[in-house]
Amino acid sequence: MSGRDLAGMSSFARKSAAKRMTPSSKAPATNGSGIEERNGLAAHASSGGQHAGLPSGVIHELRTPLTSIHGYAQVLQRNVRDNPRATSALNVVVRESARLSAMLASLSELAELQSDDLVTTPMEVEAHQIVDGVVHEVQRRDANAHPIEIAGEGTACCNPTLLSQAFLHVLTNATRFSPEGSPISVTIARNGDVLEIDVGDRGIGIDPDDGSRIYLPFERGATARQAGIRGLGLGLFLARAALGSTGGQIEHQTHEGGGTTFRLTVPAA
């Protein structure tokens, strides 16, 4: 895949390969079949109701007025800069409407992954192109200014959109659950017939009792709840589902003294 095929992906310097990780906890296993992974999503839905998320039509109806609220609040922000009280109130409206938009985006992604129309066609893609593009996007939105170091390279044989979605969720989580300004590492390496992308942070870690539960929909780890970090609990579930639909999987290891490394594995080309 050329750089033009992945528009907006910037180039970053890559350091020498980081140390290998011995995984301590895996997401529930799949056989790499996109059909089986979507059947698993359906099973989650049927066990908890008709839908694991909101139907796409409902998401659209919610997103339209929310987009208007967010947009007009930003317009008002620019016109009340001399009024501190109004500015403060509008900052809350903009921040919370953006948070709700992000939640709706996750629910929309869930609906897409449940769809029989999901495109899972694999192709050869340079992993650093996926990584560079997602890192650029995450750093653009990251208010806590985490430096992200990238090492290694390799070619995957998977659906690039699904790999990008999975990596975006994992990297976003790393920025959300790590101290401000703390470094995050991304390492790409081939291991036999698979390509591994490791995302390491120095954050709050994951309670061992939460092992595989954090990969379930709408589940949040104990450490996240105790730290008061808000969220739907969908990120890792979506990452696992996207990877499973393109023949991959996800696992993690929490390190003594803090920090977690997530490993995304997809077929190598």
* Mean pLDDT confidence for 169-184: 93
In a domain, 22, yes or no: yes
Going by pLDDT thresholds of 50, 70 and 90, the confidence category of residue 217 is confident
Residue 110 CA from chain centroid, whole number: 12
In a domain, 137, yes or no: yes
> CA 199 → CA 61, 150, 264, distances in Å?
35, 9, 8
* pLDDT tens per residue across span 150-170: 999 999 999 999 999 999 999
Checking if the pLDDT of 10 tops 70, the result is no
**Sequence letter at residue 86:** A
**pLDDT of amino acid 53:** 56
Q: Domain count of the chain? A: 1
In a domain, 152, yes or no: yes
In a domain, 80, yes or no: no
* pLDDT tens per residue across span 37-87: 444 454 444 344 344 556 667 777 888 888 899 899 999 998 888 899 999
Q: 3-state DSSP call for residue 198?
A: strand
Provide the whole-model pTM.
Answer: 0.70
Q: Are 232 and 108 in contact (CB under 8 A)?
A: no
In a domain, 113, yes or no: no
In a domain, 82, yes or no: no
In a domain, 73, yes or no: no
Q: 3-state DSSP call for residue 143?
A: coil
Q: Are 165 and 242 in contact (CB under 8 A)?
A: yes
Listed range (15-19, 66-70, 150-154, 241-245) with the worst mean pLDDT? 15-19
In a domain, 218, yes or no: yes
Question: What is the span of the domain harbouring residue 172?
Answer: 3-33+119-267
Taking residue 153's Cβ as centre, other Cβ atoms within 10 Å add up to 16
CATH number at 245 reads 3.30.565.10
Q: 3-state DSSP call for residue 9?
A: coil
